[in-house]
Amino acid sequence: MPIMRRRALVEALVVLATVVPAIFLISFLSNALGFYSPALPPLGILVSVGVATLFMRRTGGGNWRGLGFTRPKSIPFSIAMGVLGTIIGFILFNIMVGITRKFGLPGPDISSLNTVLNGNFANYIQFMVLVVWGSAAIGEELFARGFLLNRMELFFAGLPGAWVLAAIAQAAAFGMLHFYQGLTGILGTALIGFMMALLYRFTGRNLVAPIVAHGLIDTYGITALYLGVVPV
Protein backbone atom coordinates (compact mmCIF):
# COMPACT_ATOMS: atom_id res chain seq x y z
CA MET A 1 0.00 0.00 0.00
CA PRO A 2 1.49 3.39 -1.00
CA ILE A 3 2.59 5.59 1.90
CA MET A 4 0.03 8.32 1.12
CA ARG A 5 -2.87 5.87 1.15
CA ARG A 6 -1.68 4.17 4.32
CA ARG A 7 -1.20 7.50 6.09
CA ALA A 8 -4.69 8.66 5.06
CA LEU A 9 -6.25 5.47 6.45
CA VAL A 10 -4.30 5.61 9.71
CA GLU A 11 -5.18 9.26 10.28
CA ALA A 12 -8.87 8.61 9.59
CA LEU A 13 -8.97 5.62 11.96
CA VAL A 14 -7.09 7.43 14.75
CA VAL A 15 -9.32 10.50 14.58
CA LEU A 16 -12.42 8.29 14.44
CA ALA A 17 -11.20 6.33 17.47
CA THR A 18 -10.96 9.50 19.56
CA VAL A 19 -14.66 10.40 19.36
CA VAL A 20 -16.22 8.06 21.93
CA PRO A 21 -13.38 8.35 24.50
CA ALA A 22 -13.54 12.15 24.19
CA ILE A 23 -17.29 12.10 24.85
CA PHE A 24 -16.84 9.96 27.97
CA LEU A 25 -13.90 12.08 29.13
CA ILE A 26 -15.91 15.29 28.93
CA SER A 27 -18.79 13.61 30.74
CA PHE A 28 -16.46 12.38 33.50
CA LEU A 29 -14.67 15.71 33.95
CA SER A 30 -17.84 17.80 33.96
CA ASN A 31 -19.34 15.47 36.58
CA ALA A 32 -16.18 15.52 38.67
CA LEU A 33 -15.99 19.32 38.53
CA GLY A 34 -19.65 19.75 39.37
CA PHE A 35 -20.96 21.49 36.26
CA TYR A 36 -22.39 18.60 34.26
CA SER A 37 -24.90 19.29 31.50
CA PRO A 38 -26.26 16.69 29.04
CA ALA A 39 -25.24 19.11 26.28
CA LEU A 40 -21.53 18.86 27.18
CA PRO A 41 -20.56 15.25 26.23
CA PRO A 42 -21.40 15.73 22.52
CA LEU A 43 -18.68 18.39 22.44
CA GLY A 44 -16.26 15.46 22.35
CA ILE A 45 -16.47 15.64 18.56
CA LEU A 46 -14.58 18.94 18.80
CA VAL A 47 -11.70 17.09 20.47
CA SER A 48 -11.56 14.83 17.41
CA VAL A 49 -11.61 17.89 15.16
CA GLY A 50 -8.63 19.15 17.16
CA VAL A 51 -6.78 15.87 16.64
CA ALA A 52 -7.52 16.10 12.91
CA THR A 53 -6.10 19.63 12.91
CA LEU A 54 -2.89 18.38 14.50
CA PHE A 55 -2.56 15.67 11.84
CA MET A 56 -3.00 18.20 9.05
CA ARG A 57 -0.40 20.53 10.55
CA ARG A 58 2.09 17.76 11.23
CA THR A 59 1.90 16.16 7.79
CA GLY A 60 1.10 19.21 5.70
CA GLY A 61 -2.11 17.48 4.72
CA GLY A 62 -4.17 20.61 4.13
CA ASN A 63 -6.22 22.82 6.41
CA TRP A 64 -9.88 23.42 7.16
CA ARG A 65 -10.10 26.27 4.67
CA GLY A 66 -8.81 23.97 1.97
CA LEU A 67 -11.39 21.36 2.97
CA GLY A 68 -14.23 23.82 2.46
CA PHE A 69 -14.65 25.58 5.80
CA THR A 70 -14.61 28.99 4.18
CA ARG A 71 -16.90 31.62 2.71
CA PRO A 72 -18.70 30.16 -0.33
CA LYS A 73 -18.84 31.93 -3.67
CA SER A 74 -22.53 32.63 -3.10
CA ILE A 75 -23.96 32.67 0.43
CA PRO A 76 -27.62 32.78 -0.77
CA PHE A 77 -27.00 29.77 -3.04
CA SER A 78 -25.34 27.80 -0.23
CA ILE A 79 -28.18 28.58 2.19
CA ALA A 80 -30.75 27.62 -0.44
CA MET A 81 -28.93 24.35 -1.07
CA GLY A 82 -28.78 23.78 2.68
CA VAL A 83 -32.56 24.20 2.90
CA LEU A 84 -33.01 21.84 -0.07
CA GLY A 85 -30.68 19.36 1.62
CA THR A 86 -32.83 19.59 4.76
CA ILE A 87 -35.96 18.68 2.83
CA ILE A 88 -34.26 15.81 1.03
CA GLY A 89 -32.75 14.64 4.31
CA PHE A 90 -36.18 14.47 5.96
CA ILE A 91 -37.56 12.50 3.03
CA LEU A 92 -34.67 10.03 2.93
CA PHE A 93 -34.65 9.48 6.68
CA ASN A 94 -38.39 8.83 6.82
CA ILE A 95 -38.19 6.47 3.85
CA MET A 96 -35.43 4.55 5.64
CA VAL A 97 -37.47 4.38 8.85
CA GLY A 98 -40.51 3.20 6.89
CA ILE A 99 -38.53 0.42 5.21
CA THR A 100 -36.94 -0.81 8.43
CA ARG A 101 -40.32 -0.88 10.18
CA LYS A 102 -41.67 -3.10 7.42
CA PHE A 103 -38.96 -5.57 8.42
CA GLY A 104 -40.10 -5.42 12.03
CA LEU A 105 -37.36 -3.12 13.30
CA PRO A 106 -38.22 -0.33 15.75
CA GLY A 107 -37.72 3.30 14.89
CA PRO A 108 -34.63 5.23 16.01
CA ASP A 109 -34.07 5.03 19.76
CA ILE A 110 -34.25 8.66 20.89
CA SER A 111 -35.26 7.88 24.47
CA SER A 112 -32.05 9.30 25.96
CA LEU A 113 -32.59 12.60 24.18
CA ASN A 114 -36.28 12.67 25.00
CA THR A 115 -35.50 12.24 28.69
CA VAL A 116 -33.35 15.37 28.87
CA LEU A 117 -35.28 17.55 26.40
CA ASN A 118 -39.00 16.94 26.84
CA GLY A 119 -40.35 20.14 28.38
CA ASN A 120 -36.95 21.21 29.73
CA PHE A 121 -36.31 24.70 28.36
CA ALA A 122 -32.85 25.09 29.92
CA ASN A 123 -31.61 21.87 28.33
CA TYR A 124 -33.27 22.80 25.05
CA ILE A 125 -31.39 26.11 24.83
CA GLN A 126 -28.10 24.45 25.77
CA PHE A 127 -28.61 21.78 23.12
CA MET A 128 -29.52 24.33 20.47
CA VAL A 129 -26.37 26.37 21.08
CA LEU A 130 -23.78 23.76 22.04
CA VAL A 131 -24.97 20.66 20.21
CA VAL A 132 -27.19 21.53 17.25
CA TRP A 133 -25.18 24.45 15.88
CA GLY A 134 -21.90 23.63 17.64
CA SER A 135 -20.82 20.02 17.92
CA ALA A 136 -23.29 18.72 15.31
CA ALA A 137 -23.67 21.23 12.48
CA ILE A 138 -20.12 22.58 12.59
CA GLY A 139 -18.17 19.89 14.46
CA GLU A 140 -19.59 16.83 12.71
CA GLU A 141 -19.41 18.42 9.27
CA LEU A 142 -15.76 19.33 9.78
CA PHE A 143 -15.14 15.82 11.08
CA ALA A 144 -17.11 13.75 8.55
CA ARG A 145 -17.54 15.73 5.34
CA GLY A 146 -14.30 17.66 5.83
CA PHE A 147 -11.64 15.39 7.29
CA LEU A 148 -12.94 11.81 6.95
CA LEU A 149 -14.24 12.23 3.40
CA ASN A 150 -10.96 13.84 2.34
CA ARG A 151 -8.86 11.09 3.90
CA MET A 152 -11.03 8.38 2.37
CA GLU A 153 -10.67 10.02 -1.03
CA LEU A 154 -6.89 9.77 -0.63
CA PHE A 155 -7.19 6.16 0.49
CA PHE A 156 -9.37 5.09 -2.47
CA ALA A 157 -7.55 7.27 -5.02
CA GLY A 158 -7.01 5.48 -8.32
CA LEU A 159 -9.79 2.94 -7.80
CA PRO A 160 -12.96 2.95 -9.95
CA GLY A 161 -15.64 5.02 -8.26
CA ALA A 162 -13.13 6.31 -5.69
CA TRP A 163 -15.25 9.27 -4.60
CA VAL A 164 -18.37 7.14 -4.17
CA LEU A 165 -16.40 4.64 -2.09
CA ALA A 166 -15.05 7.49 0.04
CA ALA A 167 -18.54 8.95 0.52
CA ILE A 168 -19.91 5.55 1.56
CA ALA A 169 -17.03 5.00 4.01
CA GLN A 170 -17.47 8.34 5.76
CA ALA A 171 -21.25 7.88 5.82
CA ALA A 172 -20.85 4.46 7.46
CA ALA A 173 -18.56 5.95 10.11
CA PHE A 174 -20.98 8.82 10.64
CA GLY A 175 -23.85 6.39 11.09
CA MET A 176 -21.94 4.23 13.57
CA LEU A 177 -21.25 7.26 15.75
CA HIS A 178 -25.02 7.38 16.32
CA PHE A 179 -25.09 3.81 17.65
CA TYR A 180 -27.14 4.93 20.66
CA GLN A 181 -30.11 5.32 18.29
CA GLY A 182 -30.13 1.62 17.44
CA LEU A 183 -29.85 -0.04 14.01
CA THR A 184 -32.53 2.11 12.38
CA GLY A 185 -30.88 5.26 13.64
CA ILE A 186 -27.49 4.11 12.36
CA LEU A 187 -28.85 3.32 8.89
CA GLY A 188 -30.86 6.53 8.66
CA THR A 189 -27.97 8.68 9.84
CA ALA A 190 -25.58 6.97 7.42
CA LEU A 191 -27.99 7.74 4.59
CA ILE A 192 -28.07 11.38 5.68
CA GLY A 193 -24.27 11.33 5.81
CA PHE A 194 -24.08 10.19 2.20
CA MET A 195 -26.55 12.87 1.16
CA MET A 196 -24.43 15.49 2.98
CA ALA A 197 -21.38 14.31 1.02
CA LEU A 198 -23.29 14.79 -2.23
CA LEU A 199 -24.34 18.26 -1.08
CA TYR A 200 -20.72 19.07 -0.23
CA ARG A 201 -19.55 17.96 -3.67
CA PHE A 202 -22.38 19.68 -5.55
CA THR A 203 -21.68 23.03 -3.87
CA GLY A 204 -18.03 23.10 -4.88
CA ARG A 205 -16.63 21.14 -1.93
CA ASN A 206 -17.74 23.86 0.46
CA LEU A 207 -19.03 22.98 3.94
CA VAL A 208 -21.52 25.82 4.38
CA ALA A 209 -24.50 24.09 2.72
CA PRO A 210 -24.00 20.82 4.68
CA ILE A 211 -23.61 22.83 7.90
CA VAL A 212 -26.89 24.66 7.22
CA ALA A 213 -28.70 21.42 6.35
CA HIS A 214 -27.31 19.59 9.38
CA GLY A 215 -28.23 22.44 11.70
CA LEU A 216 -31.78 22.73 10.37
CA ILE A 217 -32.40 18.97 10.53
CA ASP A 218 -31.22 18.82 14.14
CA THR A 219 -33.08 22.02 15.04
CA TYR A 220 -36.30 20.35 13.96
CA GLY A 221 -35.52 17.14 15.83
CA ILE A 222 -34.49 18.83 19.08
CA THR A 223 -37.44 21.24 19.00
CA ALA A 224 -39.86 18.38 18.36
CA LEU A 225 -38.50 16.48 21.36
CA TYR A 226 -38.74 19.56 23.56
CA LEU A 227 -42.39 19.99 22.54
CA GLY A 228 -43.11 16.30 23.18
CA VAL A 229 -43.55 15.44 19.50
CA VAL A 230 -41.97 12.33 17.95
CA PRO A 231 -39.73 13.73 15.17
CA VAL A 232 -39.95 10.62 12.92
Tell me, yes or no, whether 231 lies in a domain: no
For residues 172-191, give the mean pLDDT.
93
Tell me, yes or no, whether 48 lies in a domain: yes
- pTM higher than 0.85: yes
Tell me, yes or no, whether 178 lies in a domain: yes
pLDDT in tens, 52-107: 999 999 877 689 999 999 999 999 999 999 999 999 999 999 998 889 989 888 88
What range defines the domain where residue 107 resides?
3-226
Tell me, yes or no, whether 44 lies in a domain: yes
Tell me, yes or no, whether 151 lies in a domain: yes
Query: How many domains is the chain partitioned into structurally?
Result: 1
What's the pLDDT band for 162 if we cut at 50, 70, 90? Answer: very high
Tell me, yes or no, whether 232 lies in a domain: no
Tell me, yes or no, whether 50 lies in a domain: yes
Round to whole Å and give the CA distance between 82 and 36: 33
What's the pLDDT band for 1 if we cut at 50, 70, 90? Answer: low
